[in-house]
């Protein structure tokens, strides 16, 4: 059945003014000026209680990093290193993937492909430098379709050497939860419907770990708002009523500041957007932030509420561009061309796919929990001593264009590990600008091209970030050798 938002848990009147992101635990916050630093951080993955909805409801048992969902905000400056000890106190094995970070393959956190999973009671230490400034995040890559929507996700922020001047640098980690009337997580992970349709949609959307009524603004202030979509399936189309935010970065990578088309910020699972939000309202004003991705089921995410004294009386000029990260520029003329065809799902028509070397029809696949394929292969899990073959092998340094063909009736946010890529074309039309991304949201039946220099050696996952689709077979990997 359909889970409509807010149907199950009545919204409560909450007074949470002035404490939104201030309540987020910060693992690393201040640093002296400037030599590259190593930040040592301990993350413990463990169950804990969280107050996702109002105080009139019971707490929810979730899975957390260090007791909170989202986990602690990890902050470093561009060029610094992180040394993160992850201890697993969950009832199942886990890993942590550092989404969007261009790091050495062995630190990428993919079970049996880049590391042995961390068994319950065990630990693993990740260590890597953060070469690119921007907004990133971290989450397990083992049983992701269960572990991420149980609460295991957190922000990883890499500060620019010279950050843009803003009055506040804020973060909204967006997550959704499937709760019953007692605010208990419904643990129907990987069910047939979610896997074969549009994934696990929750019925309760939280901002930084709780349902949010109000978010304070002061007249005239300029806020950098970092948005992270940590949902397993929900796509947002955020409308900031009465406001005209600028997008200044996508998936961590700067873009020339621009107003989003139709004043809506579209954010698929795993995608991030950095906004400049100028508070152009009046004292006492209330303006909704609406998620209108499904127009007939639009809902209010939060109200921006003006209070306090005006910070500034005059409007600010448009924000300047952030400094680009040093990404290798693909040469489209000499690039080798490859294809990734995505098939399967409900209403996907007849198709066949190989699973562990056997050709199966949709029914045979469904019996084995698979519904999707990349280039005719349903991605299985990697097991000890049995990693799947890469769907694509390229030489280190190769310039590549990959044509993405969505031969399904569904949307898919397609993510490549270890690299950023340019989105070159859509529907045969060359795009301008060609944004850098690590995740690209494909419309049903869409054809797109992405381009990159495969400069990072190793086995890199390439998968849909609707986590039930990934689990259901829409995953593969690229070998850069």
Residues in the chain: 481
* The one among 57, 75, 77, 99 contacting ligand C2O by CB under 6 A: 99
Min CB(410)–Cu ion separation in Å: 6
- Among positions 322-351, residues that touch ligand C2O (CB under 6 A) are none
What are the residue ranges of helices labelled H in 215-321? none
Q: Does 197 bind ligand C2O (CB under 6 A)?
A: no
412 binds, among Cu ion, ligand C2O, none (CB under 5 to 8 A by kind): Cu ion
Residue closer to ligand C2O, measured from CB, 117 or 216: 117
Q: How far is the CB of 252 from ligand C2O (least distance, A)?
A: 12
300-338: string of b/e by CB count within 10 Å (b at 16+)? ebbbbbbeeeeeeeeebeebeebeebebeebebeebeeb
419 binds ligand C2O (CB under 6 A): no
The residues, ordered by sequence, that sit 6+ positions from 182 with a Cβ below 8 Å of its Cβ are 57, 58
Torsion of CA 176, 179, 181, 187, to 10 degrees: 180
Instruction: For the CB of residue 463, give the shortest distance to ligand C2O in the complex, in Å.
Output: 6
What one-character DSSP code corresponds to residue 383?
B
Q: Which stretch binds Cu ion (CB under 5 A): 157-165, 207-215, 380-388, 410-418?
A: 410-418
CB 66 within 8 A of CB 50: no
Q: How far is the CB of 142 from ligand C2O (least distance, A)?
A: 11
415 is in the binding site of which of ligand C2O, Cu ion, none (Cβ under 5 to 8 A by kind)?
A: ligand C2O
C-alpha 464/C-alpha 441 separation (Å) is 9
Out of 415, 419, 422, 477, which residue is the one contacting ligand C2O (CB under 6 A)?
A: 415
Shorter beta-carbon distance to ligand C2O: residue 136 or 177: 136
In whole angstroms, the minimum distance from the beta carbon of 114 to ligand C2O comes to: 11
Separation of CA 457 from chain center: 23
Nearer to ligand C2O, 270 or 398 (CB): 270
Q: Residue from 406, 469, 471, 475 that binds Cu ion (CB under 5 A)?
A: 469
User: What's CA 290's distance to the chain center, in Å?
Assistant: 19
By C-beta, is 175 or 467 nearer to Cu ion?
A: 467
Candidates 466, 467, 475, 476: give the one binding Cu ion (CB under 5 A): 466
Of the candidate spans 189-197, 295-303, 397-405, 411-419, the one that interacts with Cu ion by CB under 5 A turns out to be: 411-419
For residue 79, the cross-strand partners are none
Q: Which two tokens stand for residue 420?
A: 């950023």
Cα separations (Å) of 253 from 64, 110, 117, 271, 327? 28, 23, 30, 11, 9
Find tokens 């949902």 and name the residue. 231
Q: Pick one of ligand C2O, Cu ion, none as the site partner of residue 270 (Cβ within 5 to 8 A by kind).
A: ligand C2O
Which listed residue (171, 267, 394, 461) binds ligand C2O by CB under 6 A? 461
User: Which residues, in sequence order, are bridge partners of residue 421?
Assistant: 437
Stretch that binds ligand C2O, among 247-255, 319-327, 343-351, 457-465 (CB under 6 A): 457-465
DSSP state letters, 187-215: --TT-HHHHHTT----SEEEETTB--SEE
Window of 161-169, 192-200, 404-412, 460-468 that interacts with ligand C2O by CB under 6 A: 460-468
With CA atoms as reference, report the closest residue to 44 among 23, 22, 27, 21: 27
> By CB under 6 A, which span of 78-86, 236-244, 318-326, 459-467 interacts with ligand C2O?
459-467
Q: Closer to ligand C2O by CB, 423 or 475: give it.
A: 475
Question: Dihedral angle at the C-alpha atoms of 259, 417, 325, 261, nearest 10 degrees?
Answer: -10
Among 175, 201, 270, 400, binds ligand C2O (CB under 6 A): 270
Distances in whole angstroms, Cα of residue 465 to Cα of each of 24, 67, 271: 25, 25, 9
Report the residue number, 348 or 379, with the smaller CB distance to ligand C2O. 379
Question: Which residue, 190 or 307, is less far from Cu ion as judged by CB?
Answer: 190
Task: Choose from ligand C2O, Cu ion, none: what does 464 bind? Cβ within 5-8 Å by kind.
Answer: Cu ion
User: Among ligand C2O, Cu ion, none, what binds residue 99 when CB lies within 5 to 8 Å by partner kind?
Assistant: ligand C2O
Instruction: Choose, by CB under 6 A, the member of 57, 77, 97, 178 that binds ligand C2O.
Output: 97
Q: Of residues 141, 226, 419, 437, which one binds ligand C2O by CB under 6 A?
A: 141
Residue 412 beta carbon to Cu ion: minimum distance, rounded to whole angstroms: 3
Give me the phi and psi of 480, to 5 degrees please. Answer: -105, 115
Two tokens at 391? Answer: 């769907």
What residue has token string 């906004």?
275
Beta-strand runs (E) in 130-245: 134-139, 154-159, 168-177, 204-207, 214-217, 222-229, 236-240
Q: Which positions touch Cu ion (CB under 5 A)?
A: 412, 464, 466, 469
Q: Which positions touch ligand C2O (CB under 6 A)?
A: 97, 99, 139, 141, 270, 415, 417, 461, 463, 465
């Amino acid at each position: 059945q359909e889970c409509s938002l807010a149907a199950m848990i009545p919204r409560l009147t909450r007074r949470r003014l002035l404490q939104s992101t201030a309540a987020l635990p910060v693992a690393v916050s201040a640093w002296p000026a400037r030599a590259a630093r190593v930040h040592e951080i301990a993350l413990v993955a463990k169950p804990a209680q969280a107050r996702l909805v109002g105080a009139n409801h019971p707490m929810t048992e979730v899975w957390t990093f260090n007791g909170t969902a989202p986990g602690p905000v990890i902050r470093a400056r561009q060029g610094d290193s992180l040394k993160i000890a992850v201890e697993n106190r969950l009832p199942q094995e886990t890993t942590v993937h550092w989404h969007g970070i261009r790091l050495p393959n062995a630190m990428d956190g993919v079970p049996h492909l880049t590391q042995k999973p961390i068994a319950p009671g065990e630990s693993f230490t990740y260590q890597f430098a953060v070469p690119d400034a921007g907004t990133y995040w971290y989450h397990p890559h083992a049983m992701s379709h269960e572990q991420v929507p149980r609460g295991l996700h957190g922000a990883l922020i890499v500060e620019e050497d010279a950050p843009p001047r803003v009055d506040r640098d804020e973060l909204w980690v967006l997550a959704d939860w499937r709760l019953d009337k007692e605010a208990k997580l419904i643990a129907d992970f990987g069910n047939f419907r979610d896997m074969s349709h549009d994934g696990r949609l929750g019925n309760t959307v939280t901002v930084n770990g709780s349902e949010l009524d109000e978010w304070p603004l002061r007249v005239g202030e300029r806020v950098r708002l970092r948005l992270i979509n940590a949902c397993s399936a929900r796509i947002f189309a955020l409308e900031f009523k009465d406001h005209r935010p600028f997008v200044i970065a996508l998936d961590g990578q700067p873009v020339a500041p621009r107003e989003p088309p139709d004043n809506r910020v579209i954010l698929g699972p795993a995608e991030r957007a950095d906004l400049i939000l100028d508070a152009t309202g009046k004292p006492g004003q209330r303006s909704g932030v609406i998620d209108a991705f499904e127009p007939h089921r639009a809902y209010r995410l939060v109200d921006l509420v003006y209070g306090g004294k005006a910070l500034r009386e005059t409007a600010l000029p448009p924000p300047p561009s952030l400094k680009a990260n040093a990404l290798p520029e693909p040469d489209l003329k000499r690039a080798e061309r490859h294809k990734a065809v995505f098939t399967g799902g409900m209403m996907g028509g007849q198709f066949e796919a190989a699973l562990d070397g056997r050709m199966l029809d949709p029914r045979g696949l469904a019996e084995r929990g698979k519904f999707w394929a990349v280039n005719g292969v349903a991605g299985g899990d990697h097991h000890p001593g049995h990693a799947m073959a890469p769907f694509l092998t390229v030489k280190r340094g190769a310039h590549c264009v990959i044509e993405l063909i969505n031969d399904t009736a569904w949307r898919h946010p397609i993510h490549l590990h270890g690299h950023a890529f340019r989105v070159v074309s859509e529907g045969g039309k060359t795009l301008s600008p060609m944004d850098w991304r690590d995740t690209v949201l494909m419309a049903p039946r869409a054809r797109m091209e992405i381009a990159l220099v495969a400069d990072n050696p190793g086995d890199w996952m390439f998968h849909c970030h609707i986590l039930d689709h990934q689990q259901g077979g829409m995953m593969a990997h690229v070998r850069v050798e």
